[in-house]
Amino acid sequence: MRPAPEPTAPSLPDSPTYAALHAHARHARQWRLADLFRADADRASRLTLDAAGIALDFSKNLLQPETVALLADFARAQGVETLRDAMFGGEPINLTERRAVLHPVLRMPPGSRFDCQGEELVAEVQQVLQRMEAFAEQLRSGAWTGYTGRRITDLVNIGIGGSDLGPAMACAALRPCATPALRLHFLSNVDGHAVSALLDGLDPQTTLFIVSSKSFTTHETLLNAHAARDWFLQSGRTEDLPRHFVAVSTNAQAVADFGIAPANMFPFREWVGGRYSIWSAIGLSLLVAIGPGHFRDFLAGAHAMDEHFRQAPLERNLPALLGMISFWYREFFGTASQLIAPYHQDLGLFPFYLQQLEMESNGKEVTRDGQPVPMRTSPVIWGTVGTNGQHAYFQLLHQGTDLIPVDFIAALKPAHKQLHLHRTLLANCFAQAEALMNGLDDPALPPHRAFPGNHPSNMLLLDQLTPATLGALIALYEHKTFVLGALWKINSFDQWGVELGKTLATRILSELEGAPDMGAHDSSTAALIARAHAALG
């Protein structure tokens, strides 16, 4: 593989630690991973760390211990540790919304204390969790019945963004822990095809809906919730709604107006950001699916990673290392994307979950003080499960012209008894990482058979995918995202870019339902509205 070119427009923050990294990167772009391994017999052991049930082997990266030290120096100079301590201390680090970032409080163990601005938060979190657990036990046992007295067999979570991606991903990942007595469904897209496909297969007498919206005004969620309500009322009565609809929200009046009993509303606080909300009442569908004990384990795994991130030095800190390595490639190698490759079928939604977590958090162009970011921010996050990806886009990884770092994720022990299949799966995972690193350079082969190699990757190994290790894995990437945002000095906890398109959509909807205002748009948008108006009437 030819040496990686220097990025065409390198950013040059006024920082001695950045200057040292920049100079170091000039040499690093000439390195070959195979040579680094040949020169250091202990490289793999020295560049592998364990924490909270996760092993991270980062030895197949274009870095040396000196690189890690320089990255850590830069991270300290950028205030990563200071901002981390401020977050765990309850300071309002979400500056644009003037909020503290307290999702780690949601996974603190019972009996803990966390005081923020004179308010103790853990007791309140535990009270809501206990209410969720009581509700879950009623559903799981069959004590909660529908309006005709039949037990609930289908549970539908209606939400969008973090109110959908988190629960859907986690329920799929922890499928072996789920009760077979309940079928889980997730509805997020404002598309009548999705609504119809789901509702056509359900029985209103045995279906319960969880409507997840903090404000209970989220447009997409409410549209789908009203569609579900209208469907239910074709069979049931308005007074039957409380047996079939519960809410995760803080807007008691809107919830009551919808027809949901106030006792069936599970609240969470404004400091719970959407993409960090799986640990809160937004995780109700997950708690119902896997049960209170497993959900507590899920929280405990995340808390263990919180403690590791809070205490470990940056050089031996798993989230910090993932963040610094991602920054290294984005800034000094010009990488535009990051592949997430889980070699575990139940983690199939994990790359999509990380898309929101990382790109909504760090897809920013201004710093916390409103200045243009002088560096490249979030790469594109993408991926699917192995081994499927090997027969789709891995060709591009091996012989394409872009450098794309990979995070491989695997569990050493399966949740099934097909051991030969699992060994085959692990063999493919390990082989792909090795092949990307070493390539194949045989002079006897024609050029189209040559593999340049020198493609970097991380390997994250779980002993087994359990509630605890999933919790730790999610928290690991949450904190990695935080580290990247701190390195770029951006606010990772707002998402103003989500709002503009929604505002414009509201205006266009009024035109699709009434008279188009052709002078209010560019010619392309006006023509699109006219075509849709003509087709729909």
Residues assigned a catalytic role: 360, 391, 502
| Cis? peptide before 387, omega within 30° of 0 | yes
- 3-state SS track over 444-462: CCCHHHCECCCCCEEEEEE
DSSP codes joined into one string, 12-72: --S-HHHHHHHHHHHHHTT--HHHHHHH-TTHHHHTEEEETTEEEE--SSS--HHHHHHHH
Say how far apart CA 423 and CA 425 lie, in whole Å.
5
**Two tokens at 189?**
């897209």
Beta strands (DSSP E) in 199-328 are 207-212, 245-248, 265-266
- In the block, tokens 């300290």 appear at 76
Beta strands (DSSP E) in 306-383 are 337-343, 380-382
> For the chain, how far is it from start to end, CA to CA, in angstroms?
58
Contact 165, 352 (CB under 8 A): yes
CA dihedral for 104, 106, 111, 114, sign (positive or negative) = positive
CA dihedral for 454, 458, 420, 351, sign (positive or negative) = negative
SS3 (DSSP) at 164: helix
Give the CA distances from residue 522 to residues 267, 438, 504, 519, 525, in Å, rounded to whole numbers and listed in that order.
42, 51, 13, 8, 6
